[in-house]
């Protein structure tokens, strides 16, 4: 989590040095939180909780407020948390990766494949982004590099059929996990969301249960946009968590708190670069510590 180092350094500066706790301090704090990409809703909620704590517990130095803010942030982020992806409930485990175009779905799958493989799992990639030939090729390159299997159809093929074949192939070959790459947009008039619903139904049919994880991939640098993307996907498919990508970019970090606070979706993994090693399980405590570090 070293990458978010110092993002809250303005907040840190504001609250360090035993400043008196008054309305002016809370006003400035709220403004800085919003600047750091927290939504107005989450920022207001946090500041209100701090005001109340200050009154009830007589916190009269800004440094106390800082400590309380850190623990509130950790509380939000750690609530019903299961950091990292779940292990497969049964064989094969099925993991769907969804998200809009360009957020990093395919790259994240390569990273997750690498991790599962390192743990000794037999991994199969499912090329269900049939939107363009390049998407299938890109996944195949990753599969070859990682030394894992891939099931693909022709470009333009029905994505749900690819998923069905992948699960059957995984069962036949005794693969441990199937990682499904999906499209961020489509050629046909079929709505992306109804396509994803269809994939969900196919998984249920082929596997006899829901996917082990349906991970929404979000680009951390897109700020508040990520929240509206998450709302849209949530209404179509039962998401189990978030993979945040491009945390090495210009992300301001606050969006992570807002996604968890407003949508209740756990942040499971964080991606910090383009190489397969650039992924880690999201750790709320380390994240919050890094935010305030110089």
Ligand X SMILES: Nc1nc2c(ncn2[C@@H]2O[C@H](COP(=O)(O)OP(=O)(O)OP(=O)(O)O)[C@@H](O)[C@H]2O)c(=O)[nH]1
Which positions lie near ligand X, rule CB under 6 A?
Answer: 99, 101-107, 129, 135, 184, 245-246, 248-249, 271-274, 278
Report how many helices (DSSP H) and strands (DSSP E) the chain contains, helices first. Answer: 11, 8
Residue 248 site contact among Mg ion, ligand X, none (CB < 5 to 8 Å, cut-off depends on kind): ligand X
Say whether residue 106 binds Mg ion (CB under 5 A). Answer: yes
Residue 159 site contact among Mg ion, ligand X, none (CB < 5 to 8 Å, cut-off depends on kind): none
Segment lying near Mg ion (by CB under 5 A), choices 7-15, 76-84, 97-105, 161-169: 97-105
Do the beta carbons of residue 32 and residue 7 sit within 8 Å? no
Distance CA 119, CA 135 (A): 26
Residue 88 or 184: which CB sits closer to ligand X? Answer: 184
Residue 68 or 246: which CB sits closer to ligand X? Answer: 246
Least distance (Å) between residue 179 CB and Mg ion: 12
Residue 103 or 256: which CB sits closer to ligand X? Answer: 103
- 194: exposed, middle or buried (C-beta count within 10 Å: 0-12, 13-18, 19+)? exposed
- Nearest residue to Mg ion by CB is 106
The residues, any chain, with a CB within 8 Å of residue 264's CB and separated by 6 or more, are: 79, 80
CA dihedral (243, 246, 250, 254) in degrees, to 10, reads: 10
Least distance (Å) between residue 159 CB and Mg ion: 12
Q: What is the DSSP string of 86-133?
A: PPPSSSSEEEEEE-STTSSHHHHHHHHHHHHHHTT--EEEEEE--S-H
Residue 9 or 138: which CB sits closer to ligand X? Answer: 138
Residue 93 site contact among Mg ion, ligand X, none (CB < 5 to 8 Å, cut-off depends on kind): none
Residues contributing to the site for Mg ion (CB under 5 A): 105-106
């Amino acid at each position: 989590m070293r990458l978010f180092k110092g993002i809250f350094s303005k907040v840190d500066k504001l609250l360090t040095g035993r400043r008196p706790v008054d309305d002016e301090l809370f006003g400035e704090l709220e403004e800085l939180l919003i600047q750091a990409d927290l939504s107005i809703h989450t920022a207001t909620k946090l500041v209100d909780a701090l005001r109340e704590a200050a009154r009830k517990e007589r916190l009269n130095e800004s440094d106390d407020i800082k400590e309380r803010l850190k623990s509130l942030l950790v509380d939000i982020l750690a609530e019903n948390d299961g950091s990292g992806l779940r292990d497969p409930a049964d064989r094969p485990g099925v993991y769907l990766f969804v998200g809009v175009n360009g957020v990093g779905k395919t790259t994240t799958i390569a990273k997750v494949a690498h991790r599962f493989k390192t743990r000794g799992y037999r991994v199969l990639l499912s090329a269900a982004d049939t939107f363009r030939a390049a998407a299938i090729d890109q996944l195949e390159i990753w599969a070859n590099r990682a030394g894992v299997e891939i099931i693909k159809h022709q470009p333009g093929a029905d994505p749900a059929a690819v998923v069905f074949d992948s699960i059957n192939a995984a069962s036949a070959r005794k693969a441990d996990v199937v990682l499904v790459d999906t499209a961020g947009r489509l050629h046909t008039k079929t709505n992306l969301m109804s396509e994803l619903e269809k994939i969900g139904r196919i998984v249920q049919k082929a596997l006899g249960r829901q996917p082990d994880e349906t991970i929404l991939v979000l680009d951390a640098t897109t700020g508040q946009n990520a929240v509206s993307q998450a709302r849209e996907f949530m209404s179509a498919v039962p998401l189990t968590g978030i993979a945040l990508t491009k945390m090495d970019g210009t992300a301001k970090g606050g969006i992570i708190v807002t996604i968890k606070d407003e949508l209740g979706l756990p942040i499971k993994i964080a991606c910090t670069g383009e190489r397969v090693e650039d992924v880690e399980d999201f750790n709320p405590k380390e994240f919050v510590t890094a935010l305030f570090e110089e």
